[in-house]
Amino acid sequence: MTRRPSPRVFERLADAYRARPGYPEELVRRLLALVPEAARVVDLGAGTGHLAEPLARAGARVVAVEPARAMLAVCAERVRGLPVGLVCAPAEATGLPGASAELVLLADAAQWVDPDAAGREAARLLVASGTAAAVEARPADTPFMGELERLLREANPERRPQGPGRARQWLALASGGAPVRAVEMAHAVELTPEALTGVLRSLSFLAPALGPGRMDALVAAAQRVAQQHAGARWERVLRLSWAQRRPG
C-alpha cells in the first residue's frame, strides 16, 4: 500500500518547505547530461521547486507537476521569470500531452505515488528515446544524523523508511524495462538553529502526527543534539537512477 498522508498535510506544510536545503549542483549537472540541450523536463511531485528552479536556470524547459496547491504556489514564487510551467495534478494523471518530454523526473517522491500508475503516465509523457530518472535520499552515516534519526524514530515509531523498490518499479514501467544505471553522491549543508527547526517542521511524518506540544519538545531535543555535535550538519546520500526508454 502507498504511504500517503492526506493531501491537506502538504497544503499545511508548504511554507515550512521553504527551509529545506536544495539539491547539489552535481545532481543538476548529471540530470542535464542525460538529455539534449534545452530539453523538456516534467518534474513529477515537484513540491516547492527545489529541482525545477535550478534545472530551468541551467537551460531546461520544465513543467512542475504538484498536486498540493499551496506547494505549487511557493514553487511559482521560486521560478518566477524562468521557463517553468506549473500544473496542479497528481503524478498518476498529469493531463499533459503525450510524448512531450525528453526527461521525466521523480525526485524524493516515490513514496507518495502509485508506482504503477505513475510509471505508466511517465512512459506516456516520454518521447521515444526519452529518459526517466528517480532521485532517492537517505541519511548519511554520521554521528549527528544518527542521533537525529533516533529522535525521529522515537517521536513517530510508525514511520518506516522507504526501500528502493518503489523507485525501481516506477523506473521499469516508465522506461519500458530498459536497463537502469545509478550513481550516488553525498550532499551536506550546515543548518542554523532556525533552519534546523524549519526542516523538522517540514517533515510530513512529524508535525501533523505529533501536535504542537510534542513537536516543540522534539525540536528542543534536536537542538540539544546539534549543540553536542558542534552544529547541525544535514548530510544525506542521494541516489540518482535513470533509464532511457525503450521504444515500442
pLDDT in tens, 93-126: 999 999 999 999 999 999 889 999 999 999 999 9
Q: Are 187 and 235 in contact (CB under 8 A)?
A: yes
Percent of the chain with pLDDT over 70: 92
Question: Can you spell out the DSSP letters for 33-75?
Answer: TTS-TT-EEEEET-TTTTTHHHHHHTT-EEEEE-S-HHHHHHH
Is pLDDT above 60 for 221? yes
Q: H helices of the chain, where? A: 7-13, 25-32, 52-57, 69-78, 115-125, 143-155, 165-175, 193-202, 207-228
The pLDDT of residue 107: 96
201 versus 32: which is more confidently predicted?
32
Q: Average pLDDT for residues 118-142, to the nearest whole number?
A: 96
Q: Are 238 and 168 in contact (CB under 8 A)?
A: no
Instruction: Categorize the per-residue pLDDT at 2 as very low, low, confident or very high, splitting at 50, 70 and 90.
Output: very low
Q: What is the mean pLDDT of residues 15-44?
A: 94
pLDDT at 125: 98
Q: Which of 13, 26, 2, 10 is nearest to 236 (CA)?
A: 26
For the chain, the average pLDDT equals 91
pLDDT of residue 165: 81
- Rounded CA-CA distance 75/69 in Å is 10
Categorize the per-residue pLDDT at 43 as very low, low, confident or very high, splitting at 50, 70 and 90. very high
Judge whether residue 178 has pLDDT over 50: yes
Residue ranges per structural domain of the chain: 7-139+160-188+235-244
Confidence at residue 245, expressed as pLDDT on a 0 to 100 scale: 86
Distance CA 42, CA 240 (A): 16
Residues 51, 227: contact at Cβ < 8 Å? no
For residues 26 and 133, give the distance between their C-alpha atoms in angstroms, rounded to a whole number: 15
- 7-139+160-188+235-244 sits in which CATH class? alpha beta
Burial (CB count <10 Å: 0-12, 13-18, 19+), residue 48: buried
Alpha-carbon distance of 213 to 247, in angstroms, equals 54
CA–CA separation, 41 and 35 (whole Å): 9
Q: How far apart are CA 89 and CA 99, in angstroms?
A: 18
CA distance 76 to 46: 11
